[in-house]
Amino acid sequence: MALDQVEAISRDGVPDRRYFRTPATAPGPSGPQMLAHLRAIRRDPLGFLQEMTRAYGPVVQFPIPSPASYLVSDPVAVRRVLVDRSRSYDKATVQYRSLSLVTGEGLLTTSGDIWRRQRRMVQPAFHRASLEAVVGHAAVATEELLARWGDMSRGAVIDVDEAMMRVALETVAASLFGTDLSADADRLARATLEALDVVVWSAQVPIRLPAWTASQRTLRRATRELDEAVHRMVERRLAEAEPRADLLGLLVAALEGDAPIPLREVRDELVSFMVAGHETAASAMTWALWLLAGDAQAQQRAIDEVSEVLGDRRIQVDDLPRLTYLRAVIDEAMRLYPPVWLVTRRAMEPDVLGGREIPAESLVIMTPYLAQRDPSAWADPERFDPERFLGEQRGGAAHDAAYWPFGLGPRMCVGKDFAYLEATAVLASLLQRVRVGRVPGQPDPKAVPLVTLRPQDALPLVVTTR
Ligand code: HEM
């Protein structure tokens, strides 16, 4: 949510005159009402979006000077933006511009012809055959995690958020860059997270921060580290005799192909994939563990399935179709806690959404969080119930735009299969050895929507050898 835009209204306490030029084409809060909500927006942005939809309906207009900004939750309208008329909406939005301060011009944030060329270039790294190795990398990363934990027979409190971030990093680095967490992949991840922190934080501060502030210095340093780590990874790869078919291999080949891409683009893609593929998968796995820890029956069922399918051996890609309950747990966790909670687009031309006129240049804000907890689409939506995703009723949603954790249409997540392979392999490998439980007296973690939906601080769970 473009909080800095909202605050443009209140800067110096004087309403921004441009605000009055935005035509009102849909219901929504007035400027003063919005200002009164500012603290609520900060405290609980998701609750705020839910509240706005409840109060004003499926298309809400925010009193933002420029661009005209709409929260769209009507499923037909969401489909129209992301699928049916996707060519009329691009990613030139405040959200993606902020991300591109870190990612540069990579697949996640570009639009139009550049995006189409980039997607074609990286797609082979995400074909089923190329992805088989993900399962092995995820299993090894989890076994190493279990080894680091050591003897858990008496149970120990573990921050599973940190643990899943580590496992996701090792999996993504090994699968896409072919590194077994070399110092450079580790630095690439650290510097990416550091830079993202600054970007997310800056987006919540109403003024543009001067270059000398500590946070801007951190951003510059992190960006420099990113560049250096990528250059070293590329150089090492170029020195190898045999080409490899992972993402880095494809990009390095493109450096020297018929239509060579610049080194800058390799850097931007690697960072984009780190941003898109690391924290997202970690978030899905963390929430799945939290939910299993609070539902003994569901956890036992998942453990029984894992024991039956795998016994004691390491998971392989062929096992996945038989781990149906575990897959349903992952789907249900992403329903309640969609890692990518915010999806935005710019209208490139005028349109009509949910019966409301949307002027060209408008910002359209959508979130799977609202759709996936919508009581008109889901029975008892707040309840954790993996059964919804089993058998005939798979999904149980009233329509396909009621469940879209990976997005919809041509810009849908290129890493969707990767994410399922990874999450299933990690959770299965964990449940083979341990059980998770909530820490007695522990309050529910607050889900904070930053780049992804993450628990506010750590997420401690009691982990015990089975
Ligand atoms: C549970 C984990 C994940 C979730 C929930 C998720 C979700 C999403 C969503 C919602 C989008 C679309 C954003 C939009 O339309 O504006 C997206 C795009 C993307 N995701 Fe994922 N993602 C996950 C994991 C991954 C992984 C593991 C990778 C890479 C290894 C990845 C790479 C990407 C890329 C590159 C894009 C941009 C695709 C394009 O625009 O062509 N994601 N993801």
Quick one: pLDDT at residue 322? 96
Residues 6+ apart with CB under 8 A from 256: none
The stretch 380-406 carries a mean pLDDT of: 83
Quick one: pLDDT at residue 208? 55
DSSP 102-136: HH-S-TTT--HHHHHHHHHHHGGGGSHHHHHHHHH
Q: Across all residues in the chain, what is the average pLDDT?
A: 88
Tell which atom from ligand 1 comes closest to the C-alpha of 168: 27
Quick one: pLDDT at residue 5? 45
The pLDDT confidence band at residue 44, using thresholds 50, 70 and 90, is confident
Burial of residue 433 (number of CB atoms within 10 Å: 0-12, 13-18, 19+): middle
Quick one: pLDDT at residue 65? 78
Q: Cα(460)–Cα(281) distance, rounded to whole angstroms?
A: 18
Cβ count near 212 (within 10 Å): 7
Quick one: pLDDT at residue 223? 86
Tokens matching residue 106: 């990579």
Using the predicted structure, report yes or no on whether residue 106 has a pLDDT greater than 90. yes
Tokens matching residue 372: 């996936």
Quick one: pLDDT at residue 449? 84
Residue in 121, 413, 424, 454 to alter for ligand 1 test, most ligand atoms within 8 A of Cβ: 413
The stretch 381-400 carries a mean pLDDT of: 80
Q: Cα(377)–Cα(399) distance, rounded to whole angstroms?
A: 7
Query: Which residues is 437 bridged to in the sheet?
Result: 462
465 alpha carbon, distance to own chain's centre: 30
Instruction: For residue 290, give the 3-state DSSP assignment.
Output: helix
Note the pLDDT tens digit of each residue in 225-269. Answer: 888 888 888 888 888 888 888 999 999 999 887 888 999 999 999
Q: Which residue has the higher pLDDT, 215 or 101?
A: 101
Please check whether residue 268 is in contact with residue 357, taking contact to mean a CB–CB distance below 8 angstroms: no
Q: Which residue has the higher pLDDT, 205 or 85?
A: 85
Please check whether residue 136 is in contact with residue 424, taking contact to mean a CB–CB distance below 8 angstroms: no
Amino acid identity at 160? V
Residues 6+ apart with CB under 8 A from 320: 135, 327, 420, 421, 424
The pLDDT confidence band at residue 413, using thresholds 50, 70 and 90, is very high
411 lines ligand 1 (CB under 6 A): yes
The pLDDT confidence band at residue 211, using thresholds 50, 70 and 90, is low
Using the predicted structure, report yes or no on whether residue 8 has a pLDDT greater than 90. no
280 lines ligand 1 (CB under 6 A): yes
By DSSP bridging, strand 69-72 and strand 59-62 are: antiparallel
406 lines ligand 1 (CB under 6 A): yes
Q: Cα(194)–Cα(217) distance, rounded to whole angstroms?
A: 11
Quick one: pLDDT at residue 352? 98
Instruction: Round to the nearest angstrom and report the end-to-end CA distance of the chain.
Output: 43
Instruction: For residue 435, give the 3-state DSSP assignment.
Output: strand
**From the CA of 107, how far away is ligand 1's center (Å)?**
10
Quick one: pLDDT at residue 23? 79
By DSSP bridging, strand 89-90 and strand 434-438 are: unpaired
CA-to-CA separations, 154 to 17, 52, 147, in angstroms, rounded:
64, 47, 15
Please check whether residue 62 is in contact with residue 71, taking contact to mean a CB–CB distance below 8 angstroms: yes
364 lines ligand 1 (CB under 6 A): no
**From the CA of 153, how far away is ligand 1's center (Å)?**
37
**From the CA of 71, how far away is ligand 1's center (Å)?**
21
**From the CA of 422, how far away is ligand 1's center (Å)?**
14
Using the predicted structure, report yes or no on whether residue 17 has a pLDDT greater than 50. no
414 lines ligand 1 (CB under 6 A): yes
395: left (phi over 0), alpha (psi -120 to 50) or beta: left
Note the pLDDT tens digit of each residue in 58-70. Answer: 999 998 878 999 9
The pLDDT confidence band at residue 395, using thresholds 50, 70 and 90, is low
**From the CA of 306, how far away is ligand 1's center (Å)?**
27
**Torsions phi, psi of 189, nearest 5?**
-65, -45
Quick one: pLDDT at residue 9? 42
Q: Whose CA is nearest to atom 21 of ligand 1?
A: 413
Cβ count near 251 (within 10 Å): 26
Using the predicted structure, report yes or no on whether residue 318 has a pLDDT greater than 90. yes
In 3D, which of 1, 5, 96, 8 has the Cα closest to residue 45?
A: 1
Instruction: Please name the residue that has the structure tokens 């501060």.
Output: 205
Quick one: pLDDT at residue 180? 59
The pLDDT confidence band at residue 224, using thresholds 50, 70 and 90, is confident
Residue in 280, 453, 454 to alter for ligand 1 test, most ligand atoms within 8 A of Cβ: 280
The stretch 370-378 carries a mean pLDDT of: 92
The stretch 389-397 carries a mean pLDDT of: 70
Instruction: Please name the residue that has the structure tokens 């008329």.
Output: 85
**From the CA of 257, how far away is ligand 1's center (Å)?**
26
Q: Which residue has the higher pLDDT, 335 or 210?
A: 335
**From the CA of 266, how far away is ligand 1's center (Å)?**
18
What domains are defined for the chain? 3-102+342-371 (3.30.43.20)
